[in-house]
Amino acid sequence: DTGVSQDPRHKITKRGQNVTFRCDPISEHNRLYWYRQTLGQGPEFLTYFQNEAQLEKSRLLSDRFSAERPKGSFSTLEIQRTEQGDSAMYLCASSPGGAGIGTEAFFGQGTRLTVV
Amino acid sequence: AQSVSQHNHHVILSEAASLELGCNYSYGGTVNLFWYVQYPGQHLQLLLKYFSGDPLVKGIKGFEAEFIKSKFSFNLRKPSVQWSDTAEYFCAVNAPGGGADGLTFGKGTHLIIQP
């Protein structure tokens, strides 16, 4: 499968625990995005990488959230000290575009996080 | 910052009916516009996109959208819907080079096609 892959698909965690999600983009796509989607809403942009550089972060990305893309390939999104409000679908997307070029983003299936 | 407004949150149509889903965005500069679809249990997929040129763009599965710059609109249309078009539809915008490379999505329209 050459699409965007996310792992795990589902995660249930207790409040206060840390969680980490992984995203493998489409090979050779140099842009990688993280979004969060809650019930009844459209996806909300969190952050994006151009290769290994994190170029843009949303105000939604509190200091409990951190994202990395150490080698410019896969990315991880970590949430520390999870809260019930963090329950959502976390989506990853990738695109081949360079800076200033409009290209479409390809989305993964998402990781559904439930904080109990 | 840009925003996207989708006017219809739930739409129910019969097969063969015509469809138009409204989308308006707010941003003063150059934008790229997208419609994504999410079928039940599946990931978001691109229906169509507008970057520049002809404001009437055609996408997959018989969908089209028209960019009207003066109205800041990018409405999605299909002349005759099918039961398989039942899905969630999202309008999205970004402004590459304007510090907003990530997509801003509308809240979505849940479309149900009755056989």
pLDDT in tens, B43-61: 999 999 998 899 999 999 9
Chain A residues with CB-CB distance to B107 below 8 A: 40-42
B65: phi > 0 → left, psi -120 to 50 → alpha, else beta; which?
A: beta
| Nearest residue of A to residue B99, measured between CA atoms | A56
Contact B92/B103 with Cβ under 8 angstroms? yes
Contact A106/A24 with Cβ under 8 angstroms? no
Q: Tell me the HSE value of B78 on the side-chain side, using a 13 A CA sphere.
A: 25
Number of residues that this document lists for chain A: 116
Q: What is the pLDDT along chain A (116 residues), one digit of tens a residue?
A: 579 999 999 999 999 999 999 999 999 899 999 999 998 899 999 999 999 999 888 888 889 999 999 988 999 999 999 999 999 999 999 998 654 455 788 999 999 999 99
* Segment B63-81, tens digit of pLDDT: 999 999 999 999 999 999 9
Which of B103, B108, B110 is closest to B86 using CA atoms? B110
- What confidence tier does B98 reach under pLDDT thresholds 50, 70, 90? low
Both structure tokens of B27: 């941003």
Contact A104/A95 with Cβ under 8 angstroms? yes
Strand intervals (E) in chain A: 5-7, 10-13, 19-24, 31-37, 44-50, 53-57, 65-68, 75-79, 88-95, 106-107, 111-115
Chain B residue set in contact with A, beta carbons under 8 Å: 4, 32, 34, 36, 42-46, 49, 51, 90, 92, 94, 96-97, 99-108
Interface of A with B in 36-55 (CB under 8 A): 40-48, 55
Residue-averaged pLDDT of chain B: 92
For chains A and B, count residue pairs whose Cβ atoms are closer than 8 Å.
Answer: 64
Q: Exposed/middle/buried for B70, CB within 10 Å: 0-12, 13-18, 19+?
A: exposed
At residue B113, the 3 state secondary structure works out as strand
Q: H/E/C letters for each residue in A55-86?
A: EEECCCCCCCEEEECCCCCCEEEEECCCCHHH
Q: pLDDT at position A96, please?
A: 85
Q: Exposed/middle/buried for B40, CB within 10 Å: 0-12, 13-18, 19+?
A: exposed
How far is residue A1's CA from residue A97's CA, in Å, rounded to a whole number?
Answer: 21
Residue in A42, A46, A100 closest to B96 by CB:
A100
How far is residue A18's CA from residue A78's CA, in Å, rounded to a whole number?
Answer: 7
Mutant choice from B30, B43, B107, B109 vs A, greatest count of A C-beta within 10 A: B43
Closest-CA distance, B91 to chain A, in angstroms, reads: 9
Distances (CA, A) of A67 to A56, A58, B99: 11, 12, 19
The answer to whether the CB atoms of B108 and A109 lie below 8 A apart is no
